[in-house]
C-alpha cells in the first residue's frame, strides 16, 4: 500500500513535534498500519525559522487553504489554532474535497463542530480531533468508541494545565496568585495575556466537546456556566487544606432531571479523591457511566503529548478507521436541554469579610436559615497581618454548608450584603463530596 501523504498547516511546537515523531516511529507505524506516513507539504509563515526538523524536499504553501486543496496530499493536519479563518477555511476546504482532517483545535470545534461534521458527512471525509481535548489523554476515542455501550451520567476533569499548575504551586509553596501567574508566564505555561486559561474559557471549549461525545448532544459552549481562578486567594487554598480538600478548576457535565448541566469553576474536592492528587500541568478526566467508572490521567499539553494524539489520529487515517465525528450522525445530535446553574445542588464554601460588631454572626445565620441552608461548620478568622484596632474592625467568616442549591446561596449572600455587614465581595467555592 502506498504511503499516506500528509499536508501539515502550522509548524509551531506541536507541528515540529509531529514531524519528529513520524520520523522517529516510522518503522513501528508502518508495522501497525501497513503504510508509511510522511509529511510531504506544509504551510507556515516563516520559511527561514529553524524548527529543528528537516524540511528539505517538502512543498511549502503560504496559504493553508491551498495546501488543504492540494490533490497530492491524502490527509490535512491543522495545527494553526483559532476559532475562525484561516483554520476554519482550510479545514472546510479539505473536507469539501473529501479529504480526511486531523486537528488539535478545540476552539474551532467548540464553535463550528456541528457545521464541520455536516460537511464531513456530506463529502464522506473523516474528521479526527483527539489532540483537541486533554492533550495526550485518549478521552475522545474512549467516549466515542470504547464506551459506546455505556450510558454516561457524568464527565468531569482538570482540562487546563496552566490553572492546575498555578493552583498546585499556590497550595504547596504558599505563593500568591499574582506571583504564581508571573512564574507560569516566565516558564511558558501561561500566555502574556492569560485570560483564555485563567478565566476558564479554554476549559469550557474542551468541556463542550466532551459533553457532545458523552451525551449525544450538539456542541454548545454558550450553555456552559464559567468561572475562572482569578478570584482565588492563598487564604482560600489554605482553608481548603484545613478542611480536608484541594481546590481544582473543574469542567463538569452531568445528566440531571432538568437537562444537561455544564459548568466550569473552582471546586473543592476531597484530598483522597484521585483527581485531587493530580498536580502541576497534568490533566485528568473522570467518566461515570452505568457499566464502568474510570479516570484517565496524563499530560494535557506540550509538543510531545499533543503530537502523540495527532499521530494516533494519523494512524487511524492510515488504517482507514473512520466514523461519525461526534459518534453519531450530526442530524441525530440533540439540542441540549440546559440545566440552569441556579438549580445546581451541593455543598458550598463561603468566605465573608465582615464588620466585626455585635449581631453580625446572628445576621449571617438568620439569612442562611431564611433560605433553608444548613451549616456544617462556621469558622471566624482574624485577617492575616492585622493587629490591634484594625483587626477588631474586620473579621473573616468561613461557612461550609450542607447540600443546598446555587439559587439559595446566591439569595442568602445578596441579603447579607444588603444588611451591610460585609465590607468586601464574598467568595463562593462549590464543594464536591463523597
DSSP string, 104-165: --HHHHHHHHHHHHHHHHHHT--EE-GGGSSTTS-HHHIIIIITTTS-EEEEEEE--HHHHH
d(CA 283, CA 165): 10
* 195: CB partners within 8 A, 6+ apart: 201
Supply the DSSP symbol for 330. Answer: G
* 2: CB partners within 8 A, 6+ apart: 35
Q: With b meaning 16 or more CB within 10 Å and e meaning fewer, what string describes 146-180?
A: ebeebebbbbbbbbbbbbbbbbbbbbeeebebeeb
Supply the DSSP symbol for 398. Answer: E
d(CA 55, CA 59): 9
Evaluate whether 43 touches 63 at the Cβ level (below 8 Å): yes
Active-site annotation, residues? 206
- What grid cell was written down for 127? 474528521
Evaluate whether 97 touches 70 at the Cβ level (below 8 Å): no
Amino acid at each position: 500500500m502506498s504511503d499516506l501523504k500528509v499536508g501539515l498547516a502550522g509548524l509551531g511546537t506541536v507541528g515540529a513535534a509531529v514531524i519528529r515523531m513520524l520520523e522517529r516511529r516510522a518503522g513501528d507505524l508502518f508495522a501497525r498500519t501497513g503504510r508509511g506516513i510522511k509529511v510531504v507539504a506544509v504551510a507556515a509563515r516563516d520559511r527561514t525559522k529553524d524548527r529543528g526538523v528537516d524540511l528539505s524536499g517538502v512543498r511549502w504553501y503560504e496559504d493553508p487553504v491551498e495546501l488543504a486543496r492540494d490533490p497530492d496530499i491524502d490527509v490535512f493536519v491543522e495545527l494553526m489554532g483559532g476559532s475562525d479563518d484561516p483554520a476554519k477555511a482550510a479545514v472546510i476546504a479539505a473536507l469539501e474535497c473529501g479529504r480526511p482532517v486531523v486537528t488539535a483545535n478545540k476552539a474551532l470545534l467548540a464553535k463550528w463542530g456541528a457545521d464541520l461534521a455536516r460537511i464531513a458527512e456530506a463529502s464522506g471525509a473523516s474528521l479526527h480531533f483527539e489532540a483537541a481535548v486533554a492533550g495526550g489523554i485518549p478521552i475522545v476515542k474512549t467516549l466515542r468508541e470504547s464506551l459506546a455501550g455505556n450510558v454516561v451520567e457524568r464527565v468531569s476533569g482538570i482540562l487546563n494545565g496552566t490553572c492546575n499548575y498555578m493552583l498546585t504551586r499556590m497550595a504547596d509553596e504558599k505563593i500568591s496568585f499574582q506571583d504564581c501567574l508571573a512564574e507560569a508566564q516566565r516558564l511558558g505555561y501561561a500566555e502574556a495575556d492569560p485570560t483564555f486559561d485563567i478565566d476558564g474559557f479554554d476549559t469550557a471549549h474542551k468541556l463542550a466537546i466532551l459533553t457532545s461525545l458523552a451525551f449525544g448532544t450538539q456542541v454548545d459552549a454558550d450553555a456552559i456556566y464559567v468561572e475562572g481562578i482569578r478570584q482565588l486567594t492563598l487564604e482560600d487554598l489554605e482553608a481548603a487544606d484545613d478542611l480536608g480538600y484541594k481546590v481544582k478548576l473543574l469542567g463538569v457535565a452531568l445528566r440531571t432531571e432538568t437537562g444537561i448541566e455544564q459548568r466550569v469553576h473552582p471546586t473543592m474536592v476531597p484530598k483522597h479523591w484521585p483527581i485531587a492528587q493530580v498536580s502541576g500541568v497534568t490533566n485528568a478526566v473522570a467518566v461515570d457511566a452505568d457499566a464502568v467508572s474510570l479516570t484517565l490521567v496524563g499530560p494535557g499539553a506540550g509538543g510531545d503529548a499533543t503530537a502523540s494524539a495527532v499521530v494516533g489520529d494519523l494512524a487511524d487515517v492510515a488504517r482507514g478507521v473512520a466514523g461519525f465525528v461526534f459518534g453519531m450522525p450530526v442530524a441525530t445530535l440533540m439540542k441540549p436541554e440546559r440545566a440552569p446553574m441556579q438549580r445546581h445542588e451541593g455543598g458550598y464554601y463561603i468566605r465573608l469579610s465582615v464588620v466585626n460588631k455585635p449581631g453580625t454572626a446572628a445576621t449571617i445565620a438568620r439569612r442562611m436559615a431564611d433560605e433553608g441552608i444548613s451549616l456544617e461548620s462556621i469558622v471566624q478568622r482574624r485577617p492575616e497581618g492585622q493587629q490591634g484596632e484594625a483587626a477588631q474592625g474586620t473579621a473573616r467568616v468561613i461557612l461550609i454548608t450542607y447540600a443546598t442549591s446555587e439559587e439559595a446561596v446566591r439569595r442568602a449572600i445578596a441579603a447579607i450584603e444588603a444588611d451591610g455587614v460585609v465590607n468586601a465581595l464574598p467568595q463562593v467555592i462549590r464543594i464536591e463530596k463523597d
